[in-house]
Structure 1
Amino acid sequence: MSSVAGPMMTVMYAFTGRKVVLIMAIAQVIVRSVALVLVQMFFLCRLGRFVSCRVLFIFSNSVVIIGYIITYPFPFSSNPMQPFNETTRTGCSSQIYSCCDTQLAVNIIPFVVIMIITNSFALPSAALSLDTIYSKMIGKIDQDLIQSVFVIAVDIIQIIGPIYGAEVFSSVGLNLIHIINGSVYILGTIVWLMAWRWIRPY
């Protein structure tokens, strides 16, 4: 989360490094606390027995999609990015970013709130529900290989994600990131709905 959001705040809102660190620290505390409670509810309180994992997964995906829509820099909810300040070394420099004159920055409050909600609830609950479903599907066989593949996939995403986000943001701005990521989640949701009856027993 902090690997991309922090630098974006410095560029879009001209926040100083100290302010970004403070915002991200508070956000991380909230995110980790909520995520920890969610995991405990799944494994200690057996939340998966009371909440349908296939419903939770699609609900979590929907939250992420709505988050991308809310934080998309529409003209009515956004402002121009802050110009580069030589003194504080913050803001958008046209020498580095080609989109400084055209890119809008959504209001910081929904940006941070959505970031916290998606990272503390939506993404962890989607991962937990997906993990629960495929664990039930493969049954009592050795799950080490599947779990390893799952962990490796997550690690690859965490490595490639910030690089992809930084490169796209530097080249064309935030809009395309929202469109690409939102489209991926919409596609995933459609595939999930297509398999709805098939995964019903799990």
Structure 2
Amino acid sequence: MEVPMDDSPVVQNGVLLEKEELMKKTKEDDRLTNWRLVTIAGIVSCLNAVENSVLGIGEWPYMKEIDENATAQFFGLATSASKCGHAVFALIFSIWSWKTHSVRIPLLASRFIAIIACVIYLCIEYVENDKRYVLMSVYVLLGIANSGGTVLRGYITLCSSNEDRPRAFAVLGLSFIVSIIVGPTIQLLFSAFPYPGHAIFPGIRFHLYSAPIWISFILTILTVFVIHFFMKDIIREKPKKLRPSDSESSFSMEKMRYAFQKIKKSNLDWKLIGVCFFVKMAVTFSHATMSSIGSILYMVQFGWDGTTTVQVGSFTMVVFGVMSSTVLLLYIFCHLGKIVPQHKMFLFCTIAFGSVYVITYPYEFTSTPVARYNETTRAGCDPREYDWCFTALAVNPILYITVSLLVAGPAIPTMSTSLDTVYSRILGNIDQSIAHGAMTVVDDVLYMITPIFTTTMFTLYGVGPLWIIKSLVFVVIALTWAFNFKKIEKHLY
């Protein structure tokens, strides 16, 4: 139903709606879903995410390749610095968007920062020593650039109705998953160009680690074009105070909407909002652990060289992306968000995901000794860096990859979409830009702390203790969610 912004009458199916009926319908769903803008937001989100996914798997191998002094702990520090930049600027961009009533301006600013990061990355060969620090600066700039996408979450809530919210968030989630497919596919295609590759200009080379950044640079330019020419800001102006004469003589839908916003704001369930924050933090901790040591695990425990790590990691991410995309397409076209209660879906996926770490724990009957260090490939467990090299076990890589994909593929996008939907419903009919920005900041704080914690734990004790901690984290998530099940349910129906 389209609600006018003036006092003109509303006709639906040939029937003139009375004010009371119009108010009832507006209360149930106070905005239409603009699928064109939702789709554009998804495209921008996808293009932004590609620049991250094209670098993800090759970051550690490349740092190890160009700087022999790079360690796992330094890589964790660099990753944390990137997330620190993301956290700070996610809040800055969110406030900027809220103050200016614009998503276009913060997004364009973030894309220009991404362009600078790409140029520095491509020119790294001009640096003689300590190249790891240059890569760290690139990670920080990319983290800042990617934080601009935070404003899209609040933008989605303005573009969609309550009823269509799961599908709208699924579009955003699908854009991210598509980037996971595209990015690793690009890495896989260019894995035939091993380092040092071919010189394009003096000091600028084309190889499996630099090829993705060329693609990222081009896509960033394309993103600027899409934002500038196709994205539209949605401005929801604050109306004047209602006067008795206004309510008696005229009927303004904008005034009524503002009244509903004030009511919703005064009745926010802060306890459930806190539960959503806590659960999000716990899930992020687990995901950040895996992203921090994924490529390190391949090289140190399995003994794969940089090229093999990129190839296997890229293929794995492509399969993961296809599986995740299938789930999100079910949300968009089959209305999975309406068929299955989202709070129940989140609990089920939490339990399933936690079981991954139980199954892939390095038991003696499913594992072999970790790979020995190879000076030529710089792969394998180096006893000079890890004290546990001669005693630790590495789980069978086929078992690890298979189980992780079968569960993580459908579980991660489902958990993200269901939690976003529940959180949005709990917040109610308010401008949610700052609320989602705050969630992103908390998210980033975990991404900032976790890589340092993860790589330090891995350096000192190996993967076993990490898997135990991750399993316990998911137990806590499931229990917290279950204890608040009934209260959450009231906000969904």
TM-score of the superposed pair, with normalisation by structure 2: 0.39
Give me the whole-angstrom Cα distance separating, in 1, the residues matched to 2:446 and 2:409.
17
Q: Give the partner amino acid of 1:30.
A: V
Give me the whole-angstrom Cα distance separating, in 2, the residues matched to 1:47 and 1:55.
12
Q: Which residue does the alignment assign to 1:165?
A: 454
Given candidates 306, 316, 319, the residue that maps to 1:27 is: 316
Change (3 A) 1:27 1:8: same
Cα distance, 1:19 vs structure 2: 1.0
Given candidates 130, 146, 164, the residue that maps to 2:435 is: 146
Q: Which residue does the alignment assign to 2:344?
A: 55
Q: Give the partner amino acid of 2:475.
A: I
Q: Give the partner amino acid of 1:178.
A: W
Change (3 A) 1:31 1:158: farther
Give me the whole-angstrom Cα distance separating, in 2, the residues matched to 1:100 and 1:56.
40
Contact conserved, 2:382 with 2:389, CA < 8 A, in 1? yes
Alignment of 1:114-129 (within 5 A): 114-129=403-418
Q: Which residue does the alignment assign to 1:96?
A: 385
Q: Note if 1:199 corresponds to 2:481.
A: no
Contact conserved, 1:14 with 1:90, CA < 8 A, in 2? yes
Contact conserved, 2:457 with 2:466, CA < 8 A, in 1? yes
Higher alpha-carbon deviation: 135-144 or 159-168: 159-168
Cα distance, 1:79 vs structure 2: 0.8
Given candidates 394, 415, 418, the residue that maps to 1:105 is: 394
Higher alpha-carbon deviation: 139-148 or 19-28: 139-148
Report Cα offsets for 1:113-172 as digits up to 9, x if no partner.
Answer: 233345432222112111111211222112112211222233333343333222211111
Contact conserved, 2:292 with 2:454, CA < 8 A, in 1? no
Contact conserved, 1:42 with 1:48, CA < 8 A, in 2? yes
Q: Note if 1:85 corresponds to 2:374.
A: yes
Give me the whole-angstrom Cα distance separating, in 2, the residues matched to 1:163 and 1:118.
26
Report Cα offsets for 1:22-56 as digits up to 9, x if no partner.
Answer: 11101111222333333343345432110111111
Q: Which residue does the alignment assign to 1:186?
A: 475
Higher alpha-carbon deviation: 151-160 or 167-176: 151-160
Given candidates 40, 58, 71, the residue that maps to 2:360 is: 71
Q: CA RMSD in A?
A: 1.8
Structure 1 counterpart SS, 2:487: coil
Q: Which residue does the alignment assign to 1:10?
A: 299
Structure 2 counterpart SS, 1:105: strand
Report Cα offsets for 1:79-103 as digits up to 9, x if no partner.
Answer: 1111112232211111101111221
Gaps of 5+ in 1: none
Q: Which residue does the alignment assign to 2:423?
A: 134
Q: Give the partner amino acid of 1:16.
A: D
Q: Matched residues, percent identical?
A: 29
Contact conserved, 1:53 with 1:129, CA < 8 A, in 2? yes
Structure 2 counterpart SS, 1:26: helix
Change (3 A) 1:124 1:159: farther
Contact conserved, 1:67 with 1:118, CA < 8 A, in 2? yes
TM-score of the superposed pair, with normalisation by structure 1: 0.91
Structure 2 counterpart SS, 1:198: helix
Give me the whole-angstrom Cα distance separating, in 2, the residues matched to 1:44 and 1:161.
36
Give me the whole-angstrom Cα distance separating, in 1, the residues matched to 2:351 and 2:427.
26
Structure whose CA Rg is larger: 2
Q: Give the partner amino acid of 1:72.
A: Y
Given candidates 155, 179, 188, the residue that maps to 2:444 is: 155
Contact conserved, 1:2 with 1:24, CA < 8 A, in 2? no
Structure 1 counterpart SS, 2:489: coil
Aligned residues: 202
Cα distance, 1:60 vs structure 2: 0.9
Contact conserved, 1:80 with 1:105, CA < 8 A, in 2? yes
Structure 2 counterpart SS, 1:79: strand
Give me the whole-angstrom Cα distance separating, in 2, the residues matched to 1:125 and 1:92.
35
Give me the whole-angstrom Cα distance separating, in 1, the residues matched to 2:469 and 2:314.
27
Q: Give the partner amino acid of 1:12.
A: Q
